[in-house]
Amino acid sequence: MKTAEEILRTLTLEEKASLCQGDTFWTTKAIPEKDVPEIMMTDGPHGLRKQTGETDHLGVNKSVPATCFPSAAAMACSWDRELIQRVGEALGEECLREGVSILLGPGANIKRSPLCGRNFEYFSEDPYLSSQMAKHHILGVQSKGVGTSLKHFAVNNQETCRMSVNEIVDERTLREIYLASFEAAVKEARPWTIMSAYNRVNGEFCSENHHLIHEILRGEWGYEGVVVSDWGAANDQAKGIREGFDLRMPYSGEAMKERIIQAVKDGRLPEEKLDETVRRLLSLILEGAKNRREDAACDMEAHHLLARQAAEESAVLLKNDQHVLPAGKREKIAIVGAFAKYVRYQGGGSSHVVATKHRSVLQVLDEDYPDVKYSYTRGYRLKRDRIDEEYKAEAVVTAAQADRVVVFAGLPDGLESEGFDRRDMRLPDNQNDLIETLIKLNKPMTVVLFAGSPVEMDWADRVPSILCMYTGGQAVAEAAVRLLLGDANPCGKLAETYPLLGEHAPCALTYPQHEEAVYSEGVFVGYRYYEKKRLPVRYAFGHGLSYTTFAYANLKLDRGEMTDQDTLTVSFDVTNTGTLPGREIAQLYVRDVESGVPRPVKELRNFVKVSLRPGETRHIEMKLGKRAFAYYHVGLGDWYAEDGEYEILVGAASDDIRLRASVTMRGSVQPQKKYNEYVTMGELARLPGARPFLSAMNTSATPAPAMTEAEKEAYLEDEDDMREVAMDLTAMSVYMPLIKVADMTAGAFPYELVEQIVKAINE
């Protein structure tokens, strides 16, 4: 087989341009006479959506059957790197079986708002957790010789006007939150392709964005793979190619090829830049074609069992008062709610998978648990949010005759899908009304939720137990029943916060916006916001219960001081103190005790999931480098860890910290700020170079004679004098610019002295 470089030397300008867009809806351009094959890509972050008939990008038309694994919102709640990598391997095997070379996913966009209609496809509100899940998903798929497409790059956080909205986000927020979600996955897993988003970021469309693609992705991160557009997201492709963009999808007509050719002829697109794009495309196509196997096969039953395991480990037991769960298998159970029969196991849109098999909750009970006595009643309508008194009355009668009640509730497809955002965070009124009615029976009661994102639960304090299954894939009904009956032990934890109300979300006042979406909340997204505001939430980030209990002890740091060149080793023990085997997710957060910039109360920096038998203890070690302590310093254009004290916090959830220890950062690189005449008096009080001048201002209206170096050193050691200066400055106003002091003293404080002070502090 010829190499990409050998083929490139034989291509005409027209052939090069033709490779820069798809040949069909799902395939790349083939040039057989030049030894260029085609390869196929398909949707499917959590399951293959290969279409053999009519094609579309919204999941409307049929696709071949494939395993529907839990969506990203569910999988992230497993906090299990190894499990999601195994799911990725299974996805890769199914791609090989169907001749697919690139699977379009995973989605690593941050959950800025719980109302984003596509949140079920995204991992988390936290960039570290999101990037770890994405990284291991990619490693799994690509271990099978199938490429991935990490998406949607970048700042694609609403469905409303998603093809045109301009996301306005400051550089620090961009780096710490929205790009950090992609960064580790790009650098450490090297996805074959990255999908550019529809939207604009700070004025430029993502497919042509100089800062995102040229400066950061290609430049700082060193990404050498292919940048492909979301379907229809390319605009000025010649400009995009200049910035490092590669492939327009799908085929959009010969006019697009002609535009590239004309741009080269006009000099707007240097042919060497086009060659860079074509070289990357040829490398991708050849790699994909090389890995195709006609005899590829996979064990679909094993994949279904893996989907069940993933659903079980992603389920989150939100509440379990008085150990209501697990249910006794000899009890008579009232199964209430249409979702028990019509289980919602995935989201709508381009990720919609035709499952290889799927059973309802009722079928699972009938087939796998024939001795369990239950009665079923529908309870509410699914397609119309109208309270049906007859349905409700039947539910009350059924529940009254049972030992316990299990209500299956959630968001119907029509409320949560790609293409639109949710209007509010509420469940349908008919479901809320049903739950409120059944609470009055005072029975042991569980609500099982099927939803791709948080919902309001006004009744949560009055329901003994709540089990959240998210959109858990084709085996979610099996997983739910096993969890309810105690054949599996819940071990998932929330990858996002459940606020009390949708109005409490960080961007609730403005979300979604149409022409410009201004990210005024900055880095305070998800738990970072709720903790900083001290705002109570329904369930905190990282929360999740088990049928057993865990204790934490013996937190140790291998050093008390460090620099930003060092690695800190954190160790602690976790013990299963209950009577059942279980899995615990230990979370490590870092808190900057006193920062010079606004920072979150704490931030997730590592986690581990461990399996423990009753009474078993596991010793855990985690390592933290500079990035665990740093924020993005715009002036430096780099990550910066301030000198000072940092707390290491270890616990079972963001609101359940069990262990604390401190480490001091010393000798980190200091940012060199350039000051001008508008430096404030408060800033001057903190700068050693300005203190002699401030002393002179306090003792005389005329400048003091210049101090010798010895006098300055002696002066700086006098802390009492500096406290007096600070008190005087408080009276004067710490926010007054230096130049204004000169303006208002009629020459007593000359402008020449302003210049001297600015020069001194900059030196």
Q: Which residues are catalytic?
A: 230
Of residues 223, 198, 225, the one with CA closest to residue 209: 198
DSSP track, 411-472: --GGGSBTTB--S-SPPPHHHHHHHHHHHTT---EEEEEE-SS----TTGGGSSEEEE--S-
Q: Please give the structure tokens belonging to residue 362.
A: 């009722």
Triad 505, 508, 509: Cα angle to 5°:
145
Q: Please give the structure tokens belonging to residue 165.
A: 């909205």
Peptide bond before 106: cis, by omega within 30 degrees of 0?
yes
Contacts of 262 (CB under 8 A, 6+ apart): none
Count Cβ neighbours within 10 Å for each residue of 691-723 and write b for 16 or more, e otherwise: bbbbbbbeeeeebeeebeeeeeeeeeeeeeebe
CB neighbourhood size of 140 (10 A):
24
What amino acid occupies position 356? T
Residue 280 · residue 6 · CB < 8 Å: no
> Do you know the residue count of the chain?
763
CB neighbourhood size of 350 (10 A):
24
Alpha helices in 556-676 (DSSP H): none
Query: Angle formed by the axes of helices 271-290 and 254-266, to 10°?
Result: 140
Residue 114 · residue 511 · CB < 8 Å: no
Of residues 560, 673, 568, 670, the one with CA closest to residue 627: 568
Long-range CB pairs of 593-598 (<8 Å, 24+ gap) are 593/644, 593/645, 593/646, 593/647, 593/662, 594/644, 594/645, 595/631, 595/642, 595/644, 596/642, 597/631, 598/522, 598/523, 598/524
Q: Please give the structure tokens belonging to residue 634.
A: 């715009």
CA distances from 609 to 78, 542, 628 (A): 9, 12, 19
Q: Helix, strand or coil for residue 97?
A: helix
Q: Specify the pairing of strand 102-104 against strand 465-468.
A: unpaired
Of residues 356, 350, 352, 471, the one with CA closest to residue 97: 356
Query: Using CA atoms, how far apart are residues 458 and 450, in angstroms rounded to an integer?
Result: 17
Query: Using CA atoms, how far apart are residues 100 and 40, in angstroms rounded to an integer?
Result: 5
Contacts of 464 (CB under 8 A, 6+ apart): 319, 320, 321, 322, 324, 444, 445, 446
DSSP track, 675-701: P-TT-BHHHHHT-GGGHHHHHHHHH-S
Contacts of 400 (CB under 8 A, 6+ apart): 441, 443
Q: Please give the structure tokens belonging to residue 275.
A: 């060659």
Query: Using CA atoms, how far apart are residues 469 and 451, in angstroms rounded to an integer?
Result: 7
Alpha helices in 535-604 (DSSP H): none
Of residues 555, 556, 551, 610, the one with CA closest to residue 585: 610
Sheet containing 332-336, strands listed edge to edge, beginning at the edge strand earlier in sequence: 316-320, 465-468, 445-450, 404-410, 332-336, 373-377
